[in-house]
Chains A and B, each alone.
Chain A
Amino acid sequence: ETGVTQSPTHLIKTRGQQVTLRCSSQSGHNTVSWYQQALGQGPQFIFQYYREEENGRGNFPPRFSGLQFPNYSSELNVNALELDDSALYLCASSSRTTSGTDNEQFFGPGTRLTVL
Chain B
Amino acid sequence: DAKTTQPTSMDCAEGRAANLPCNHSTISGNEYVYWYRQIHSQGPQYIIHGLKNNETNEMASLIITEDRKSSTLILPHATLRDTAVYYCIVRPNYSSASKIIFGSGTRLSIRP
| Residues in chain A within 8 A of chain B (CB atoms) | 4, 31, 33, 35, 41-45, 48, 50, 55-56, 58, 90, 92, 94, 96, 100-102, 104-110
User: How many contacts A-B (CB < 8 Å)?
Assistant: 67
CA distance A74 to B104 in the complex (A): 27
- B interface: dominant SS: loop
B44 sits at the interface (CB 8 A):
yes
- A interface: dominant SS: strand
Which of B2, B46, B101 is A106 in contact with, Cβ under 8 Å? Answer: B46
Contacts of A58 in B (CB 8 A): 99
Q: Interface segment, B17-25, B58-66, B68-76, B88-96?
A: B88-96
Contacts of B104 in A (CB 8 A): 41-42
Known contacts A42-B2, A42-B102, A42-B103; decide if A96 and B95 are in contact (CB<8 Å).
yes
B34 touches A104 (CB 8 A): yes
CA distance A58 to B102 in the complex (A): 12
B98 touches A48 (CB 8 A): yes
CA distance A35 to B105 in the complex (A): 16
Output the nearest chain A residue to B32 by Cβ-Cβ distance.
A104
Which of B42, B97, B99 is A109 in contact with, Cβ under 8 Å? Answer: B42
Output the nearest chain B residue to A58 by Cβ-Cβ distance.
B99
Contacts of A35 in B (CB 8 A): 100, 102
CA distance A94 to B99 in the complex (A): 11
